[in-house]
Structure 1
């Protein structure tokens, strides 16, 4: 089961910092990051890729995004 980082309502760089903290804690696996702005979605995706994680899927929900990342 994926770890969930709920960063909705937070301004950058907080979503990125929470994502990086979770990446460092887990080391590998799956993480779902919930954000509510285009900027946060892009910044979280870029940060994850820079750490060697893959963007599995980006889903737009009603007023927010679910970014799924993984690393084996």
Structure 2
């Protein structure tokens, strides 16, 4: 599973990095540190027909996209 560490990045970078990773991987772990980034990545994944789950860690979110 590829990991995309998008913590500290502004929009639209987390989505762009996620899209790039999903071109070659079926499962991607995405790390973001803002609620709106989590929601944007979740929406993008859903629009691509993917399922997402997330865990809130110490100051950031870990999303698993499948």
TM-score, with length taken from structure 1: 0.86
CA distance in 2, matches of 1:30, 1:24: 10
1:43 aligned onto 2:56: no
Q: 1:41 Cα deviation (Å)?
A: 0.2
Structure 1: 5+ residue stretches without partners: none
CA distance in 2, matches of 1:50, 1:23: 12
Deviating beyond 6 angstroms after TM superposition, the runs of 4 or more aligned structure 1 residues are none
- Matched residue pairs, number? 66
* Aligned-CA RMSD value: 0.8
